[in-house]
Amino acid sequence: MSQFWLYFQLGLEHVLDWNAYDHILFLIVLVAAYSFNSWKRVLWLVTIFTLGHTLALFLSVYGVVTVSSRWVELLIAVTILITSLYNIFTAKKKESQKNAVLLYFATAFFGIIHGLGFSTYFKMIASGTESKFLPLVEFALGIEAAQVIVVLIVLILSFLFQNLFRVNRRDWILILSAIVIGIILPILRENFQAFL
């Protein structure tokens, strides 16, 4: 297997790993309010998230930024909770009524936090390589591909529930966001207790 496919596959598997599902939870709530009709905005959100994510990986791998993994794990859970709550409070609003600049900025910032969460893992797998630049890009491409897979699944489920099962958009957003909150609250409590 070539080096490209090795790091690409590691990035892909790292996001799609059910033991590390916090990344998937964030993607679910990030796009819960969207449909295939909104593909441009969804693409922008995922790309901005990936850019923030990749920037954090670069800064961490090259020693520019160092953050305690305990803090990162706590902050990742907080980003998921905030995004879920945002969905709940704006579920009635149409896309055009939402502040796109704020949404893009928050997504980039949350991408940076999530990228810091991957940095420890990436440092371990790339510790033997001389240059970390290409493996980092390859790993980031694998992460992006995995994110697209997750987003497509969420959009397909959204389409099925809203069109086949006649669940209205607002209820779909509320249900999905509430499920994610139910999953993330115990994780948030556990991460917070690590500081006590």
- For 93-142, write each residue's pLDDT tens digit: 876 567 788 889 999 999 999 999 888 888 888 777 778 889 989 998 99
Per-residue pLDDT band for 1 (boundaries 50, 70, 90) equals low
What does the pLDDT average to over 78-92?
95
- For the stretch 27-83, pLDDT in tens is 999 999 999 998 888 989 998 998 998 999 999 988 899 889 899 999 999 999 999
Per-residue pLDDT band for 152 (boundaries 50, 70, 90) equals very high
What does the pLDDT average to over 139-165?
94
The pLDDT of residue 184: 97
The pLDDT of residue 125: 81
- Bigger pLDDT: 35 vs 195: 35
Whole-model pTM: value is 0.93
- Bigger pLDDT: 186 vs 61: 186
Q: What is the 3-state secondary structure (H, E, C) of the chain?
A: CCHHHHHHHHHHHHHHCHHHCHHHHHHHHHHCCCCHHHHHHHHHHHHHHHHHHHHHHHHHHCCCCCCCHHHHHHHHHHHHHHHHHHHHHCCCCCHHHCCHHHHHHHHHHHHHHHHHHHHHHHHHHCCCCCCCHHHHHHHHHHHHHHHHHHHHHHHHHHHHHHHHCCCCHHHHHHHHHHHHHHHHHHHHHHHHHCCC
